[in-house]
Every structure is written in C-alpha cells, then in structure tokens.
Amino acid sequence: MAADDRDTTIRRATRAAAIGFAVAIASAIGLVVVYVAGGHTQLEGLFLFAAFAGTTVGLVVWTKVLIAEPDLLEERPPMRSSQEDRAAFEHAYLEAREVRDPDIASRRRFLSRLLAGASASLALALGLPFFSLGAPPGGQLFRTNWERGSRVVDFAGRPVRADMVGPGGVITVFPEGHTGDGQSAALLIGIDFGRIVEGGITAETVPGIVCYSKVCTHAGCPVGLYREEAAELLCPCHQSKFAVYDNARPISGPTTRPLPQLPLGTDDAGFLVALGDFEAPVGPEFWNIQRGGRA
C-alpha cells in the first residue's frame, strides 16, 4: 500500500473510531437522562444498544486498522543478532517511527481517552438497573396479616359469625384492621361436611365452613368463582380449578399448588377468628418457597 493511501486509511479509521466512541458516550448519557427523568423502556433499550454498538465499532476499527501492521517478509540467511543488538534496534526503530509519524502518539492518546470515557459511561449506564431493584422482600412472602385471634370481617369491615355463611355461601373476608388487603384476602365457603374427601380439610376449622386464600397460586389473580355443584373454585384469569372438598387441590389449569387454608375458630361472642396465618405461603411460587418456616 502506498504511503499516501496508508495515511488516508489511518485518517478515516481514526475518524470512524472516534465517532464510535462518541456515540457510545452520548448514548450512555442519554440512557442516564431518560432513567432519571422517569424512564422509558424502549428508549433506554435503544440507548443501551447504541452504547454497545458505538464501543464495539470503535474497538474493532482501532484494533483492525490502526494497531495492525502489514506483514513484511525478507528472505535472508539466519543471522541472529545478540539480545543487546536486538533491543537497541527495536528502540531505534520505534524512535524513527515516532519521528516519521508524530501523530501516532497523539492519536493513541486521543482514542485511549475516548475509549476510557466510553467504558466509564457504559459502566455507569449498566449500573442503573441496580437502583430499580428495591429492597429485598425478606419474610413478607411467607406471611400475611392474619394472626392468631384476628377477627374475620367482610368487605365492609363487619365481623362475620359462623351462622352468616350458609350452605354453598361464599364471603370474601379479611383480618380485622386490614380490610382490602389483597395478600390477606380469603374465601369463607359454606360446605357439606359429608362431601369432604378423606384428609381433605387439614386446617382446624368450625363446622360447615372452610376458608381458603383468595390469591391464585398460579399468577396471583383473585379466585372468586365458585361452582357449588362441582365444588370447584375457578380462577378467571387462566382457568385454574381447585377442589373445595380436597384441600383446594388444583384439578386443572396451569397452577400446581393448592390454595392455602386458614385455620378458623370462634371467639366468646361467636364471631369467627383466625387461629393463625395460612398453612402455606399464599400466591404464586417463588424461588425459596420450600425453605420452611415463616420469617
């Protein structure tokens, strides 16, 4: 390649690498601005892609064009010089090269600084998702607001007596003081004890009533449809069905876990009270649901 052509190629490659790094810096800054301003998923993804692409283009051009040197071969008999002579020649060669092309050092410094800026900006942008993780859930996934002695109330906050739940009746209930809490929502169902399968009700309860979590164990939707004849609870979101007389065991649909039962009793005034929290964590599966115990 002629010297003029080589110089032209170097200038173009330098410009291309610089543009790549500049695009990476601008994109990373844009990502930070969009995130701080409230976030926009698609725009953040676009900026992140541009930051990676700009850095990649800059590095590829730099290493393939600016650093790579053409292979030079010369046929000659073996005449290996001493190590001292070789070091002196290398030093002299590098000095001559610097004299011949004084822009090499400045170009390297220029691109090195841009690469450092692109890397720092991209690292900052990649660190942003950590600020969106929030606090760890701790033991919240293992417990609800039900506790021993919690009085059972309806949507209006009125205490519920056992005789208010007739055969086939269904009432959505909450622990007193937490009306409307979706995680604690439960279904009181009036049942016929003669239809209970062997071992089908494991939690302590009062005659004629069973209480299950209202939160579907598939995706967390409210289970609110009760087919009395079939004794099935149905989740309207994904059609999971649960057997009311068999520990709310899933009989169809995507879920694999039964609805947790709430142990029930009555207080001195005859109102229903919880004898503790649900027998198992409510809602969908999570990574350590089988760890046992409640935090």
Residue with tokens 């309860």: 205
Cα angle: 113, vertex 117, 119; to 5 degrees: 115
Q: For residue 164, which of 272, 53, 12 has the smallest C-alpha distance?
A: 272
Reported confidence tier of residue 292, pLDDT bands at 50, 70, 90: low
pLDDT at 261: 96
Q: What is the pLDDT of residues 237-261, one digit of tens each?
A: 999 999 999 999 999 989 999 999 9
Q: What is the pLDDT of residues 147-189, one digit of tens each?
A: 999 999 999 999 999 889 888 899 999 999 999 999 999 999 9
Q: In the chain, what percentage of residues exceed pLDDT 90? A: 44
Residues 218, 254 contacting (CB under 8 angstroms): yes
Token digits for 273? Answer: 């009270």
Reported confidence tier of residue 26, pLDDT bands at 50, 70, 90: very high
- Mean pLDDT throughout 69-81? 72
Reported confidence tier of residue 295, pLDDT bands at 50, 70, 90: very low
pLDDT at 69: 65
Q: Strand (E) positions, 65-224?
A: 152-153, 170-175, 186-190, 209-213
Crossing angle between the packed helical segments 41-61 and 103-127, to the nearest 10 degrees: 150
- Mean pLDDT throughout 66-93? 78
pLDDT at 70: 64
Q: Is the pLDDT of residue 74 over 70?
A: yes
- Mean pLDDT throughout 196-200? 87
pLDDT at 13: 86
pLDDT at 285: 86
Range with the largest mean pLDDT of 2-11, 109-118, 185-194: 185-194
- Mean pLDDT throughout 12-30? 90
Higher pLDDT residue, 183 or 70? 183
2-6, 195-199, 216-220, 227-231: least confidently modelled range? 2-6
